[in-house]
C-alpha cells in the first residue's frame, strides 16, 4: 500500500487533509518531523493533525482501512468538546460539563496520541513539522480584530457562545439583565454555524418572556450580512418570528469595538465605510470574526483566502492530487457545521478508498449542511440545504415550521449520535434516512 499521511484540524475546526503518495510502490516512508521530542515513531500511514470533530471521525474511518497501528493523532488539548450544544449552554438549558470529554476517551482505540501542535505543513515533501504547545486553535476566533476584546470579557454583561471560556458568561449576562438593549452580533467574516448568532437571540427573547422581563428588553440583532438567512424558505419563516416577537434587525452592521467599561458597542455601516454608531447595551453577545490559522494561511495547500483549496464535489485538493480536505478550514461553499462535516466524512471515506486503488472518485458531495435554528426552549426550525441554497430536507414534513420534535433532536439525539456514532466513524449524515422516507412516499 502507498504510504499515507492524513492531516486534520484542531478541536475548533474539523479540517482534514490527507496526503497520499501516488505512483511508485517503492517510495520511502513519509516523515513526521517534530520540533520537540515525543514518544512516537517518525512516520505513519495516516497522521491526523488535531483531535477535533473531523479529525477524530476520519481517524476512526482510516483505522478501519489501514489498521490502528498505522494511525496517529497530533492534538495538544486534554479535552474534546461538542460545540453545537453551547447554544443551549449559553441559554441555561444545558450544563457546560455535558459538552466535553477527555480527549483520550474519544481517540479510536489503538491509535497513537501525540500531544503536540502543528507548526508547518509541507505537502511538496509529504511532511509536517510539530512543536510542543498547550493549545491549538485551527479555526481561529480572532477576537483581537475587535477593539476592546478579549479583555472586555472580564466585565459583566458580555458573553460569547463561541468559546468554552465565555459561553457561561452569556448565561450570566442573561440572568443579570435588568432593563435596556440586548444586542447580538454577526461579524464580517465566515463563521462556524452561521445560524448560532441568532439562535441565542431567540432563546434570550424566550427567557425574558419566561421571567417577566420582555417589556423591559429591546432586542437588537446587528449583522454584517444583507439578509437574515441564506435559504429563502427558512428566511421567510424567521422573518415572521422576528416580526411577531418585535425584534429589531439591522443589516450591514459590523461590530468593530467594545467599550465594556461603559457598556457600549461600536458598529460600522458596511454600506458606508467609515460611518459608525454606538449602541449602549445591558447585555451583549459577541460572535467573533473567524479565519483559518496562520499555519494554514501560509501553507501551499491554501487558496488566496487562506482556506484549504479543494474540489467541492470530490473534496480532493485542486493543486495537490494527494491532498484532501473536509470541514471548516476548507473553501467549500457551504455552511461550516458539524452536520456538513458528517456528510463530508462519508464522501471523503469513499473518495480516499478509490484513490488508494488508483481509481477515480465517483461519489460527489452536494453541499449538504444543516442548521437546527433554535427559536425557543422547546422549538427548532430544522434547516437543511445544499450548495444551491435549496432545501434538502430529511423528514416528510415542512421543516420550516417550529417543532418540539426537532428541538428534542437538537438537544438530546444529536449529542448521542455525535459521541457514539460520528466520532466512531459510523455517521455520515442523514442521506440514508432521507432516501428511506422518500422511498416510502413514492
Q: Which residue numbers are catalytic?
A: 193, 371
Long-range contacts of 163-167 (CB under 8 A, 24+ apart): 163/288, 164/81, 164/86, 164/96, 164/99, 164/100, 167/86, 167/89, 167/90, 167/96
Supply the DSSP symbol for 357: T
Q: Give the pairing of strands 158-159 and 283-285.
A: parallel
| Integer angstrom CA distances of residue 156 from 200, 283, 368 | 17, 9, 39
Residue for cell digits 476592546? 148
- Burial grade of 119 (CB within 10 A; 0-12, 13-18, 19 or more): middle
Q: Give the pairing of strands 100-102 and 140-141.
A: unpaired
Provide the terminal-to-terminal Cα distance of the chain, rounded to the nearest Å: 44
Look at the alpha carbons of 134, 135, 136, 140 in this order and tell me if their dihedral is positive or negative.
negative
Residue for cell digits 461519489? 363
Question: Measuring CA to CA, which residue among 142, 126, 115, 156 is closest to residue 10?
Answer: 115
E-strand ranges in 55-104 read 71-74, 79-81, 100-102
Q: Before 150, cis peptide (omega within 30)?
A: yes
CB 116 within 8 A of CB 36: yes
Supply the DSSP symbol for 214: G
Rounded to 5 degrees, φ, ψ at 398 are -75, 110
SS3 at position 355: helix
Cell of 30: 513519509
The span from the CA of 205 to the CA of 196, in Å, is: 14
Look at the alpha carbons of 180, 186, 187, 193 in this order and tell me if their dihedral is positive or negative.
positive
E-strand ranges in 178-305 read 180-186, 217-223, 248-250, 253-259, 264-269, 276-280, 283-285, 290-291
Rounded to 5 degrees, φ, ψ at 375 are -110, 0
SS3 at position 400: coil
SS3 at position 272: coil
Amino acid at each position: 500500500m502507498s504510504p499515507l499521511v492524513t492531516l486534520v484540524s484542531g478541536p475548533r475546526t474539523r479540517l482534514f487533509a490527507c496526503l497520499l503518495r501516488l505512483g511508485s510502490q517503492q517510495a520511502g516512508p513519509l516523515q513526521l518531523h517534530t520540533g520537540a521530542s515525543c514518544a512516537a515513531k517518525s512516520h505513519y500511514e495516516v497522521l491526523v493533525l488535531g483531535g477535533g470533530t473531523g479529525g477524530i471521525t476520519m481517524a476512526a474511518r482510516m483505522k478501519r482501512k489501514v489498521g490502528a497501528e498505522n494511525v496517529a493523532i497530533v492534538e495538544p488539548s486534554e479535552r474534546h468538546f461538542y460545540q453545537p450544544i453551547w447554544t443551549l449552554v449559553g441559554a441555561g438549558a444545558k450544563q457546560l460539563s455535558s459538552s466535553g470529554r477527555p480527549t483520550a476517551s474519544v481517540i479510536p482505540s489503538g491509535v497513537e496520541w501525540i500531544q503536540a501542535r502543528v507548526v508547518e505543513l509541507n505537502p511538496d515533501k509529504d511532511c509536517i513539522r510539530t512543536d510542543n504547545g498547550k493549545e491549538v486553535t485551527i479555526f481561529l476566533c480572532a477576537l483581537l480584530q475587535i477593539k476592546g476584546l478579549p479583555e472586555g470579557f472580564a466585565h459583566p454583561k458580555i458573553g460569547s457562545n463561541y468559546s468554552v471560556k465565555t459561553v457561561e458568561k452569556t448565561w450570566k449576562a442573561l440572568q443579570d439583565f435588568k432593563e435596556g438593549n440586548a444586542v447580538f452580533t454577526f461579524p464580517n467574516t465566515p463563521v462556524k454555524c452561521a445560524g448560532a448568532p441568532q439562535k441565542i437571540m431567540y432563546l434570550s427573547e424566550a427567557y425574558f418572556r419566561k421571567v417577566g422581563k420582555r417589556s423591559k428588553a429591546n432586542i437588537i440583532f446587528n449583522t454584517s450580512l444583507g439578509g437574515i438567512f441564506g435559504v429563502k424558505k427558512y428566511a421567510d419563516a424567521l422573518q415572521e418570528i422576528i416580526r411577531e416577537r418585535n425584534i429589531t434587525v439591522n443589516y450591514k452592521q459590523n461590530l468593530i469595538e467594545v467599550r465594556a467599561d461603559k457598556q457600549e458597542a461600536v458598529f460600522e455601516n458596511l454600506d458606508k465605510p467609515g460611518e459608525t454608531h454606538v449602541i449602549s447595551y445591558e447585555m451583549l453577545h459577541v460572535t467573533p470574526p473567524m479565519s483559518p490559522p496562520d499555519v494554514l494561511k501560509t501553507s501551499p495547500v491554501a487558496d488566496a483566502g487562506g482556506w484549504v483549496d479543494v474540489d467541492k464535489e470530490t473534496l480532493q485538493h485542486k493543486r495537490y492530487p494527494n491532498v484532501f480536505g473536509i470541514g471548516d478550514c476548507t473553501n467549500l461553499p457551504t455552511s461550516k457545521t458539524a452536520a456538513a462535516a458528517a456528510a463530508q466524512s462519508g464522501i471523503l471515506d469513499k473518495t480516499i478508498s478509490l484513490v488508494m486503488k488508483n481509481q477515480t472518485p465517483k461519489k460527489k458531495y452536494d453541499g449538504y449542511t444543516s442548521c437546527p435554528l433554535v427559536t425557543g426552549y422547546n422549538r427548532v426550525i430544522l434547516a437543511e440545504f445544499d450548495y444551491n441554497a435549496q432545501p434538502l430536507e430529511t423528514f416528510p414534513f415542512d421543516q420550516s415550521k417550529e417543532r418540539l420534535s426537532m428541538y428534542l433532536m437538537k438537544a438530546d439525539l444529536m449529542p448521542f449520535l455525535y459521541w457514539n456514532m460520528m466520532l466512531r466513524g459510523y455517521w455520515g449524515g442523514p442521506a440514508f434516512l432521507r432516501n428511506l422516507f422518500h422511498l416510502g412516499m413514492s
